[in-house]
Structure 1
Amino acid sequence: MSDDAWQGMLFGATTVENEANQDGPVDELRVCALNVNSPNPSRAQRIVNWLLATKSNTLVLTEMQPSEGGRHILAGLQAEGFTTTCTPGWRDARYFATVAARGITAVSVKPAGFDPRVVAADLTNDTTTVRLVGLYGPTNGMTAESSSRRREFQGRFLQYLAEISTSALCVVGDLNVVEPDHRPHLPAFEDHDYAFYSRLLAAGLRDAYRELNPAGGDHSWINPRFGSQRLDHTLISAAAGDIHTCAYDHATRSEDLSDHAALLTTIKLRGATAAANGQPAM
């Protein structure tokens, strides 16, 4: 089916109000990050309906595939007023990541030439711009080849991030790594995996979940054989805004939409806060 045909599809009616039609400036990013687990068209439509019900204005979707299901999600979100951003080459990729935004201007950033698993967009309201980078890291296959592939990808991503870095920055998605003191301890992860997470924090990013939950033990991927893992992250710089909420929603797992929990984060934009107080935007 052609892209135009997908664009013209009619999707199930929802009761969710279209954020793009609301009056007034957007003063916060309501970010939903979800690994969609390569859905077929039927599950893809259920995922679209669930995403709309969260009333998020920013979506970061990982483990997308250029299949019927992946294209269905893109067309469904576009039909609901979302601007979707994918890295060039996504149609020929095995996996890709997508950033979707509604009610806030989204402009694609210089793409990561090495893999459509990485996507970046500038999100702009009346007072500020946040650069959001969506990331789907390679899965830990627990083999030497998998380790080498992850190490190379992580190095190239850090190089790309340094090239496009700006003060107001977010890195969001299924990074497929855990924090160094993750509980339970997961011996399948290697030093370079922990270093990747640590280097992102060293670059000035804050782990939104950990900042609000210093002793939190939630996980986003539950597996009795390989150990429950907190693989999905929202990392933000101080200049991007204030973290108001950040929590994992396991409805996506319990409703068989994905094998991952969604990560819902609310970020109060710094520029919007300053403008509301009569101050110039940063």
Structure 2
Amino acid sequence: MDVLTFNLNNPSRERAERQLSYLASRPEQVLVLTETAASAGCEFLAQRFTAAGYDVEFPRPERGERGVMIVSRLPLSRPDVVFDYLPHRGVAVSVETDSGPIDVIGLYVPSRDATAKKTDRKRKFLEGARLAIPQARPGIDQRLVIGDFNILEPDHTPAYRFFQSFEYGFYQWLGEAGYRDAFRQLHPEASEYSWVGRTGDGYRYDHAHVSDSLGRVLRGCSYVHEPRTGPDRLTDHSALAVQLDVSPAALLTVTDPAESTAAGALF
């Protein structure tokens, strides 16, 4: 079972159509799409995937807010994981596999600037995430926490003085709670970035953390830079793909959502 996280960057309708073609061509069965909004572009994606037979979990953010959409070729159920603060930014689903259910928790952590208001908002969301995300019991829980965390690992290279201890603290807490950084497990020394600023400085904002049980069947975790660096410029983030050596218990019967869009354009 493979999972991809992809920051949509709240697309326009036109860019959403191009994103749909790309996402529909991906091999991953579960897509965790971040930086969603109650906008024409995101509604288009949700509607086209739903019409094509995918299972879609998309709590619409309130006006001016952002969130997470999960799109799946596997039937989704809802585990008992609840984010009380900014719930559209923490979305949990469960899928059945040959090794039992796997919970997928998609996160889109608020970004911030130097203002107290945005700093407190990010701090409050991360505090709430600690309460919402269950401790991972070794050898028992199968859980993936994935998305755009808007935080860096404490020893990120280069180091940036802007980030505060509570942001690094959430990354450290994930380890204490029983989750491994999937990319670091397979690439302990690699320097890769999922977002690059205008000055050329790189940041590894997009993450996937796996419970002990999933760490044992992790067979791949890599950044997919094409959406960010390719000629189509689908988004301003690189995607992150995770491959797990487990098989889905069942797959939905789906059609190509991009082809459905093309057919609809004829009428």
**TM-score after normalising by structure 1:** 0.80
Q: Secondary structure at the match of 1:105?
A: coil
Q: Secondary structure at the match of 2:127?
A: helix
User: What amino acid is aligned across from residue 17 of structure 2 in structure 1?
Assistant: Q
- 1:95-149 superposed Cα distances (whole Å, 9 cap, x missing partner): 11011110x2211234423211110001113441001100000013233332221
2:205 maps to which residue? Answer: 231
Match of 1:130 among 91, 97, 102: 102
Q: Secondary structure at the match of 1:124?
A: strand
C-alpha contact (below 8 Å) 1:244/1:266 kept by paired residues: yes
1:245 maps to which residue? Answer: 220
User: What amino acid is aligned across from residue 237 of structure 1 in structure 2?
Assistant: S
C-alpha contact (below 8 Å) 2:136/2:179 kept by paired residues: no
User: What amino acid is aligned across from residue 99 of structure 1 in structure 2?
Assistant: I
User: What amino acid is aligned across from residue 213 of structure 2 in structure 1?
Assistant: A
* C-alpha deviation, 1:221, in angstroms: 0.2
* C-alpha deviation, 1:163, in angstroms: 8.2
Residue ranges of structure 2 left out of the alignment (5+ in a row) = 250-267
C-alpha contact (below 8 Å) 2:105/2:145 kept by paired residues: yes
1:265 lines up with 2:236 in the alignment? no
Q: Secondary structure at the match of 2:9?
A: coil
1:108 maps to which residue? Answer: 78
CA 1:168–1:207 in structure 2 vs 1: closer, same or farther (change >3 Å)? Answer: same
Let me know the Cα RMSD of the aligned residues: 2.2
* C-alpha deviation, 1:173, in angstroms: 0.2
1:179 lines up with 2:179 in the alignment? no
CA 1:135–1:249 in structure 2 vs 1: closer, same or farther (change >3 Å)? Answer: same
Q: Secondary structure at the match of 2:245?
A: strand
If asked which structure has higher relative contact order (CA below 8 Å, sep 6+), I would say 2
**TM-score after normalising by structure 2:** 0.84
User: What amino acid is aligned across from residue 83 of structure 2 in structure 1?
Assistant: A
Aligned length: 242
CA 1:257–1:77 in structure 2 vs 1: closer, same or farther (change >3 Å)? Answer: same
1:41 lines up with 2:18 in the alignment? no
- 1:203-227 superposed Cα distances (whole Å, 9 cap, x missing partner): 1111111111110100000114383
Q: In terms of mean alpha carbon deviation, does 31-40 or 126-135 score higher? A: 126-135
- 1:164-220 superposed Cα distances (whole Å, 9 cap, x missing partner): 987111101000000000001011110000000110111111111111111010000
Q: Map of 1:184-195 to 2, 5 A cutoff?
A: 184-195=158-169
- 1:8-42 superposed Cα distances (whole Å, 9 cap, x missing partner): xxxxxxxxxxxxxxxxxxxxx21110110010111
Residue ranges of structure 1 left out of the alignment (5+ in a row) = 1-28, 273-282
- 1:60-88 superposed Cα distances (whole Å, 9 cap, x missing partner): 0000011100101111222333211134x
1:216 and 1:142 map into 2 onto residues whose CA distance is 30
C-alpha contact (below 8 Å) 2:5/2:33 kept by paired residues: yes
